[in-house]
């Protein structure tokens, strides 16, 4: 493990040593929180279903940089029965173990996963690659261990991000550059690894900021009115999704 990765790990161990109640938003059934938190995952799953041409719930799922397991729980709640959450923080995985007994757990460094090639059907990361000192290496690893598909939910590069986005994130002594993706960087990295094997690549660019949208919409309650407001904000932003701050990248390895 490189020194930079070790520093990141120490910082995240600290963050995840906080009391478990702090991660309650991963489990709450509050409809507005669920809507804003799960929106990108729903969009990604819909896109994968289209590429698969049908049901995907029988696929085994590996979550990379999964923290306390919020995304893993999302998959378990949506009919996936074989879901493994991974992270390099033992504290995060400890919280995960207590949070959701349905999940399998593995301590893994995303840049160098101790896993066989093609060992999980669907390999997913949300807001994790940009914490790595070598984000491309993280994606290379995901592609290597994925049998059928990879889903990447990360920041999208663009002029808005350049103008007002955070370039450097600091957690304690650890610092990381916020690496942002786009169709071209995603496509080139995939092609350089998989060469001309059959595959489909999809990218969705969109606006998404769950905490800000939640703050505004929750003023109208967390029921149907709050959700209506949140959906309306995203509907207003949809015509300018081409400038959006978020990236959903999907690789489908066609058999």
**Shortest Cβ 224–ligand SAM spacing (Å):** 26
19: Cβ–Cβ under 8 A, 6 or more apart, which residues? none
Determine contact, residues 166/116, Cβ cutoff 8 Å. no
**Shortest Cβ 196–ligand SAM spacing (Å):** 30
Pick the closer one to ligand SAM by CB: 97 or 187. 97
| Longest CA–CA separation in the chain, Å | 51
Antiparallel, parallel or unpaired: β 168-171 and 174-177 = antiparallel
Pick the closer one to ligand SAM by CB: 25 or 243. 25
Tokens of 235: 């509907």
Q: Closest CB to ligand SAM belongs to which residue?
A: 67
Pick the closer one to ligand SAM by CB: 24 or 50. 24
**Shortest Cβ 70–ligand SAM spacing (Å):** 4
**Shortest Cβ 111–ligand SAM spacing (Å):** 5
Pick the closer one to ligand SAM by CB: 71 or 208. 71
Pick the closer one to ligand SAM by CB: 65 or 123. 65
**Shortest Cβ 226–ligand SAM spacing (Å):** 22
**Shortest Cβ 56–ligand SAM spacing (Å):** 20
Pick the closer one to ligand SAM by CB: 138 or 244. 138
For helices 183-194 and 135-145, give the axis angle rounded to 10 degrees.
Answer: 50
Pick the closer one to ligand SAM by CB: 178 or 233. 178
Give how far Cα 37 sits from Cα of 43, 214, 247, Å: 12, 9, 15
**Shortest Cβ 94–ligand SAM spacing (Å):** 12
Binding site for ligand SAM (CB under 6 A): 5, 8, 12, 65-67, 70-71, 87-89, 92, 109-111, 126-128, 131-132
């Amino acid at each position: 493990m490189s020194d930079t990765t070790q520093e990141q790990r120490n910082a995240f161990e600290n963050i995840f040593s906080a009391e478990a109640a702090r991660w309650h938003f991963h489990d709450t059934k509050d409809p507005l929180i669920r809507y804003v938190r799960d929106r990108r995952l729903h969009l990604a799953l819909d896109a994968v279903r289209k590429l698969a041409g049908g049901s995907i719930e029988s696929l085994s799922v590996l979550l990379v940089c999964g923290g306390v397991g919020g995304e893993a729980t999302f998959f378990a709640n949506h009919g996936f029965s074989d879901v493994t959450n991974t992270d390099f923080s033992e504290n995060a995985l400890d919280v995960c173990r207590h949070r959701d007994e349905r999940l399998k757990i593995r301590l893994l460094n995303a840049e160098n996963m101790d896993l066989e090639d093609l060992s999980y059907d669907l390999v997913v990361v949300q807001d994790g690659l940009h914490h790595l000192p070598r984000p491309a290496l993280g994606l290379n690893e995901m592609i290597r261990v994925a049998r059928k598909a990879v889903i990447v939910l990360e920041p999208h590069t663009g002029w808005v991000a350049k103008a007002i986005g955070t370039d450097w994130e600091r957690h304690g002594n650890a610092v990381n550059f916020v690496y942002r993706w786009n169709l071209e960087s995603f496509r080139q990295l995939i092609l350089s690894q998989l060469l001309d094997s059959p595959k489909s690549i999809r990218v969705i660019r969109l606006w998404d900021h769950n905490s800000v949208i939640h703050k505004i919409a929750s003023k109208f309650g967390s029921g149907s009115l709050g959700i209506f407001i949140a959906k309306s904000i995203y509907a207003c932003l949809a015509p300018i999704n081409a400038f959006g701050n978020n990236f959903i990248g999907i690789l489908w390895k066609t058999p």
